[in-house]
Chain A
């Protein structure tokens, strides 16, 4: 159950952000860049407040020219607010644990909704970035990323995603990090580990979050060590904590 009666006080900050630019990633997903810089480490997230929802929404964090960036897939009122209306947006950050991969070379596989985090991780850990999308990315945005980072590939469609997973070998990578839908993460874990147990598979889990700070206990996930909380124990877990290999 974890020692949740013990925690550090006063560490989470409140930031009021203003948007500086918005890129279209694909039809329903946007890359939002703010004017402000925020202290965080790779893998951490923020709870983003909106006028239109009863709970804040969690977004993993990235940087764009030194400024805070998030990717937002428009799925409901909250995400629509962030993309369309909110010009002064309040967030709580940094939240969750930093991701610390093993030393050797890795690959970062992200859905368009997690590109901000993906670019930041790939840059920090000098790894390859694979953007795994159901639909093609806007060419201008992809060119921007390639220009900034290099070593980026876009993989479009389910078949191409499976093909990518099948090409990942322990010779190419000692770890992969996957962030997207739960299904995408589970498939990646099972597919890659079925071929090689030498490759560590990390996933950034999505569970509904009420508070993002460990108070409400809404973000539970079942692990082989019992219930854990995505916001305080994660958001990044090793795949073998959550799923059995096939």
Chain B
């Protein structure tokens, strides 16, 4: 499933270009006649939580200039419904198209542990398992699980011991402390990688004057992502780093690879135009071809 390069375990992907968890849902882009699957190295499913979530009250999204603000609230059917769908082969088409990364979340320590146990029998179907420790749009779990550091560290070790064979990735935001220090904790707990960064907490009024307290994504996030990857790499030579936040073109992707990302992921970009994934893929292939 993965190879080791210079002490760092690497995901083996056709191209280190990943679809981020959330904006692309559970693969609904497969409804399009021409989604560029051939240029996708892996698809991250929307975060599945222990219990199903209905998500937040509307309005849930607003976009302006260089940013999108969302407060979806991890709407998902929950792990049991997800596993039923998996067993009913609802995702087989997606596994045929590309590698799949599973994103998991919960509302408490216990839920993170339980969901890890539930997924274990199926874990080998996924290229990696990403734990969402950074969603700003839920009251419990997500970003808030990191607030209690001792508990979080214990949780990281416990998940590692349950899923001892899997490629484990922690998705970290920038608001639970210095992200490079948190990444170090993840690395010390024996995890394989991190995804940095998630959306950043934001607030905006939409055109109707309604307040949207949510997470910020889109191009304005890019310099923050670049800095986060740069800092995480300096302190954590062995971590596999997936960059997420504001990647909209090939140039963005290459800058991230230059400062130490192993893979780049795109989320909000799909809402503008999924075809740009192919342009980014072209640049990434060209860059990797020249740099190896």
Contact = CB atoms under 8 A, between A and B. Distances in A.
Contacts of B93: 9
Given A14-B33, A213-B29, A220 B23 contact: no
Contact of A227 (B29, B54, B268): B54
Contact of B63 (A6, A53, A207, A221): A53
| Pairs A-B, 10 closest by C-beta atoms | A215-B25, A218-B61, A215-B28, A5-B85, A54-B63, A217-B75, A214-B28, A55-B271, A210-B271, A9-B30
Contacts of A9: 30-31, 93
Given A9-B93, A54-B272, A208-B61, A214 B55 contact: no
Contacts of B271: 54-56, 210-211, 216
Contact of B55 (A7, A207, A217): A217
B81 interface: yes
B33 A5 contact: no
A163 interface: no
B150 interface: no
B273 interface: yes
B24 A210 contact: no
B61 A5 contact: no
Given A208-B61, A211-B25, A218-B60, 14 more contacts: A5-B91, A11-B33, A14-B32, A53-B272, A55-B63, A56-B272, A208-B60, A210-B70, A213-B29, A214-B31, A215-B23, A217-B25, A217-B55, A219-B58
Contacts of B30: 7, 9-10
Contacts of A11: 31, 33
B26 A4 contact: yes
Interface string A67-78: 000000001100
A220 B58 contact: yes
Contacts of B25: 4, 211, 214-217
B102 interface: no
Interface SS of B by simple majority? loop
Interface residues on chain A, size class: 35 or more
Interface string A160-199: 0000000000000000000000000000000000000000
Interface SS of A by simple majority? loop
Contacts of B60: 208, 217-220
A90 B24 CA distance: 19
B32 A12 contact: yes
A118 interface: no
Given A1-B77, A49-B273, A56-B271, A215 B55 contact: no
B206 interface: yes
A11 B28 CA distance: 11
Contact of A216 (B22, B66, B81, B206): B22
Given A1-B77, A9-B31, A55 B68 contact: yes
Given A56-B271, A208-B62, A213 B54 contact: no
B244 to A, nearest CB: 15
27 contacts: A1-B52, A5-B91, A7-B30, A9-B31, A10-B31, A14-B33, A14-B34, A53-B272, A54-B66, A54-B218, A54-B219, A55-B271, A208-B62, A208-B206, A210-B23, A210-B61, A210-B63, A210-B70, A213-B28, A213-B29, A213-B31, A216-B22, A216-B23, A217-B46, A217-B72, A220-B60, A227-B54
B31 A5 contact: no
A208 B214 CA distance: 14
A201 to B, nearest CB: 21
